[in-house]
Structure 1
């Protein structure tokens, strides 16, 4: 059996690395697909409610805020013409897509931590597994979106054509952030804990369950949060409201894609060091 010794190669040619990464992604695509299929089947095979658990966080979070608003415990403002149940269900669903995607790289690679130091295979397959799992869950999460639009008889406008682009923008933005922090997250478990703790907090600085405040310090916090524009415009594409930040989203997506390529190279070059650390 061939013995593979992992060492750190300090010489890096960026575009050659990208070409090599692309070649490994293509060659390991079937492996990533099979790992994704196996994980999805194992997670839901012995579950009575099956795929419902993918939707459970969205449904529970939405019901909590609908109850608080309906009981008068909190007074939530929404854009004129958008019923609050529509606003909150769309918002929490879109947010769950972001939250899950940002955690998918580190979660997926962590799940393969026991084999990455023992078996020589393209580690990008683990990233692709996380990405495929996020896409699968995203498709399932379209169910409440379609359901709430039908219930409230909201007719789509031409803006609906931009919905796939905005979902792609959120996915690339989130996956890029997750990828950048994955090497450190494999060595230090604190990174995963910070993500788990920080993402719910960040939701309250984003117009997920209530509109952007018009006064006070939170108005400025929302303004400097890029997710404010992504979440608002993605929801607007579904309810037929005006799109406000298309150019910002295009620029953010382009920058995210460039950083994603850099992140892939960093991930590839750092894996020998990471494997040495976790294997030792």
Structure 2
């Protein structure tokens, strides 16, 4: 008896998917910009305090730790080369950038749930829209850091040239993680809640508001956290202290970029299934 085997004519090739994806991103760039512009205008136009809310979480978190340190309630281990206020402000600002980068793919797609199944457009536009919003908020946060550097009369040295590279490594790492969890997060809303609950705990094992302990179990725990080296170097680059882990930042950037590309392909292939599930 003759046996017939049927297979799909449409085969998936990773690099072909990437090529098609970048073509769609280019064609939908205007749409992405308009979506970002609409969201930013609605976010700040309807707020009495406007741009203040971009800084509010950073300022309040910094004030809490500054108060705890100055009152003696908590004996904070900080780098003596940097004024503690500046140490905390830079740390919490970079941490805010890290967390926003991680959540931006999920929040950007979630904000467009109502049109996903109604309008046919490249879904990558939502990711690019999120990057535009992230870039706008990033500019505001960097201005705040610059203001504090001026207030404390800190003149960055040649090391500041390393800061953009280290910051890109941090953002690429967090965004690659965020992109991988986006498909599941769109189907199960618990994912976003788990992340927002768990992320603050990670902060306490990262040199955000205090330095790496000099000894003991927590010193080893900090050293197992890749963010430790990135955050220390980011802060050092801004205040003119030597940067020691550029090779590590390069490795993180390369690995994160690969994960990011894989995440983009997974996102592209999974979106039709996700839209069917959340739309049905």
TM-score grouping bracket, smaller chain normalisation: over 0.9
SS at match of 1:120: coil
Q: Compare 17-26 and 141-150 and name the one that shifted more.
A: 141-150
Structure 2 match to 1:151: 151
Unaligned runs of 5+ in 2: 1-7
Check conservation: 1:233, 1:243, Cα contact below 8 A.
yes
Structure 2 match to 1:226: 226
State how far apart, in whole Å, the 2-side matches of 1:106 and 1:218 are.
Answer: 32
Larger radius of gyration: 2
State how far apart, in whole Å, the 2-side matches of 1:269 and 1:166 are.
Answer: 31
State how far apart, in whole Å, the 2-side matches of 1:275 and 1:150 are.
Answer: 49
State how far apart, in whole Å, the 1-side matches of 2:105 and 2:247 are.
Answer: 28
State how far apart, in whole Å, the 1-side matches of 2:80 and 2:155 are.
Answer: 16
Alignment of 1:103-114 (within 5 A): 103-114=103-114
State how far apart, in whole Å, the 1-side matches of 2:207 and 2:10 are.
Answer: 43
Displacement of 1:216 in angstroms is 2.3
1:265 counterpart = 2:229: no
Displacement of 1:215 in angstroms is 2.0
1:140-169: CA deviation from partner (whole Å, max 9, x where unpaired): 001220111111111111000111111111
SS at match of 1:78: coil
Shift in CA distance, 9/255, structure 1 to aligned 2, threshold 3 Å: farther
State how far apart, in whole Å, the 2-side matches of 1:121 and 1:221 are.
Answer: 45
Structure 2 match to 1:167: 167
Structure 1 match to 2:182: 182
State how far apart, in whole Å, the 1-side matches of 2:165 and 2:105 are.
Answer: 21
Check conservation: 1:79, 1:211, Cα contact below 8 A.
yes
Displacement of 1:10 in angstroms is 8.0
State how far apart, in whole Å, the 1-side matches of 2:258 and 2:12 are.
Answer: 17
Check conservation: 1:163, 1:238, Cα contact below 8 A.
yes
1:45-102: CA deviation from partner (whole Å, max 9, x where unpaired): 1211101100000000001100000000001122231110110000000100001110
Unaligned runs of 5+ in 1: 1-7
The alignment of Structure 1 onto Structure 2 pairs a total of residues equal to: 273
SS at match of 1:119: coil
Q: What value does the CA root-mean-square deviation take over the aligned residues?
A: 1.3
SS at match of 2:120: coil
Runs ≥4 residues deviating over 6 A: none
Structure 2 match to 1:16: 16
